[in-house]
Chain A
Amino acid sequence: GENVEQHPSTLSVQEGDSAVIKCTYSDSASNYFPWYKQELGKRPQLIIDIRSNVGEKKDQRIAVTLNKTAKHFSLHITETQPEDSAVYFCAAHLGAGRRALTFGSGTRLQVQP
């Protein structure tokens, strides 16, 4: 079936290092790929998104890359800080006519000070 796979499930980095989270999707018709950050007990917050007509997008320390041929997209966080610690979810619009998002299973990022 249609799904989004996300790796790794947990990621621990030292403050100042970079973190990379990867997702793959199944439906080549998908055209919108957002990333959400969710802190414990809080709502998912959109941090960056990319559409299928763009290969890369950057916003300060975060960037997202999209490879449509391989059907995968990645989140890159540079110069990580302790406040980046959270669960990150990738998502995609999957399925013809579906505007709902399908989410990955999440990556728990821990930035060690």
Chain B
Amino acid sequence: EAGVVQSPRYKIIEKKQPVAFWCNPISGHNTLYWYRQNLGQGPELLIRYENEEAVDDSQLPKDRFSAERLKGVDSTLKIQPAELGDSAVYLCASSGAGGYTFGSGTRLTVV
């Protein structure tokens, strides 16, 4: 089993530029999460999907962040435009009967 796969692993962009992250969850996991982890802190939920439906996006800054999970499998998270404060690790996780599994994350640096 490949686990939760995320790409890219690292991304450096200039402020005001757009950026996108991709996540492929564990096969059969209907629930997918995007978390943001700032340096020295615990992960914070951005959005949760049940299949293709976003059921909890109350913490997603909707003015600049968007996400989609077409067909209820892969998901993308986009930031446009990026700000300096968006620098963080963006973690994707999926859950099923066996519990949560996190991906390796994308480390975003906005300069």
Residues of A bordering B, CB below 8 Å:
6, 34, 42-46, 49, 89, 91, 98-106
A34 partner, pick from B41, B42, B99, beta carbons under 8 A: B99
Interface residues on B, range: 10 to 19
Q: Which residues of B contact A49 (CB under 8 A)?
A: 99
Q: B42, A106: Cβ atoms under 8 Å? A: yes
Q: B99, A46: Cβ atoms under 8 Å? A: yes
CB within 8 Å: A-B pair count: 41
Q: B91, A106: Cβ atoms under 8 Å? A: no
Of the stretches B11-19, B20-28, B70-78, B100-108, the one at the interface is: B100-108
Main secondary structure of the interface of B (DSSP, over half): strand
What are 19 A-to-B residue pairs whose CB atoms are below 8 Å?
A: A6-B42, A34-B99, A34-B100, A43-B91, A43-B102, A43-B103, A43-B104, A44-B91, A44-B102, A46-B99, A91-B42, A99-B95, A100-B45, A101-B43, A101-B45, A103-B44, A105-B41, A105-B42, A106-B42
